[in-house]
């Protein structure tokens, strides 16, 4: 997390995903945390070629998805989120994207304190 000001924090992330049969994907993400309560974010997914995979089509489009993300902390233990993924590859003609609703809960154990802020 990078503190931009008293009310704004920035969280850039990167994730490499590999299943050894399909394309290797990289997600580039950036989130803006407002007043420690609201998240606004965007994500871009693309494929990368780390090694030769003989079972993949030769004409695969590396561009995959761009996403918009919103989350709100309803309380210290409850987070609600929404995201929309817009498909940018050849599937975009037959698919209009996908929606995701998420629910995050924190369950501290008996006599246990949560010491880290819940930003992840």
Residue 31 in any domain: the answer is yes
Q: The domain containing residue 98 runs over which residues?
A: 2-105
DSSP secondary structure letter of residue 91: G
Q: Which residue has the higher pLDDT, 65 or 13?
A: 13
pLDDT for the residue 80: 97
Cα–Cα distance for residue pair 36/117, rounded to 1 Å: 9
**Each residue's pLDDT tens digit, 38-84:** 999 999 988 888 777 777 766 666 677 899 999 999 998 899 999 99
Residue 114 in any domain: the answer is no
Residue 119 in any domain: the answer is no
Residue 120 in any domain: the answer is no
Residue 18 in any domain: the answer is yes
Cα–Cα distance for residue pair 88/63, rounded to 1 Å: 6
Yes or no: say if 47 and 23 are a contact pair by the CB < 8 Å rule: yes
Q: Is the pLDDT of residue 115 over 70?
A: no
pLDDT for the residue 45: 87
Radius of gyration of the chain (CA): 18
Nearest alpha-carbon partner for 106 in 93, 90, 119, 95: 119
Cα–Cα distance for residue pair 83/81, rounded to 1 Å: 7
Residue 110 in any domain: the answer is no
Cα–Cα distance for residue pair 94/24, rounded to 1 Å: 23
Residue 112 in any domain: the answer is no
Look at the chain and report how many structural domains it folds into. Answer: 1
């Amino acid at each position: 997390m990078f503190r931009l000001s008293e009310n704004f924090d920035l969280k850039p992330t990167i994730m490499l995903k590999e299943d050894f049969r399909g394309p290797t994907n990289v997600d580039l993400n950036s989130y803006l945390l407002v007043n420690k309560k609201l998240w606004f974010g965007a994500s871009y997914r693309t494929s990368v070629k780390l090694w030769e995979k003989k079972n993949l089509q030769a004409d695969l489009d590396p561009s995959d998805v761009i996403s918009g993300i919103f989350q709100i902390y309803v309380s210290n233990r409850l987070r609600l989120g929404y995201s929309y993924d817009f498909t940018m590859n050849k599937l975009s003609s037959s698919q209009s994207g996908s929606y995701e609703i998420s629910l995050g809960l924190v369950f501290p154990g008996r006599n246990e304190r949560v010491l880290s802020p819940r930003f992840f």
